[in-house]
Structure 1
């Protein structure tokens, strides 16, 4: 998958279109990502040891990976991703700026 945990992404489709956030979790099996502060859902929870009172809890829902686009760290614009081998390691390359995204 082109997105990793900690990447800054922009939502390009759906009710959260145009908003940006950081990826918290990546589900490779279902091709979905969870973005901090976006796609908030309300979940009803019973009282338990971890949540003594129970009630309605608001959490982030997942978004399909095709509906998000990585933000280029240099220009701040959404970009597609390419791959190159640099010094024997495969790194992600931003198509907008041509710079490596992965930290060295």
Structure 2
């Protein structure tokens, strides 16, 4: 009897699409960019201007020339930290409640509410 593959679990990621983050490790350390896409199954994020790779594309039709295209590739979510553009500092995130009882994300270092 064949073993079945375990179902991939969805990981809770501390960043969302549109957040401003700073890379804290790897070749693009200290770069700041916006989160373009979140991949929860792999715990990865795509950040604008970070982890740029080039891809050579063959010509599709006769007479057309080939191209070299650049893409932002995903990096692991543990390698990014939320970034405050007002105070120019990276911070961990915590969850708190507003006066209306709404749960929001807040930067620990600055107390700035993100949502």
Q: TM class, shorter-chain normalised?
A: 0.7 to 0.9
Structure 2 residues without counterparts, runs of 5 or longer:
1-12
Aligned to 2:107: 94
Match of 1:40 among 43, 52, 63: 52
Q: How does 1:1-104 map to 2 (within 5 A)?
A: 1-48=13-60, 53-86=65-98, 87-102=100-115
Q: Radius of gyration: which is bigger?
A: 2
Give the conservation status (yes or no) of the 8 Å contact 1:72–1:96: no
For residue 38 of structure 1, report the CA deviation from its aligned partner.
1.3
CA RMSD of aligned residues (A): 1.8
- Name whichever structure is richer in strand by fraction: 1
Q: How many residues align?
A: 100
For residue 98 of structure 1, report the CA deviation from its aligned partner.
1.6
Aligned equivalents of 1:76, 1:13: Cα separation in 2: 18
TM-score by length of 1: 0.84
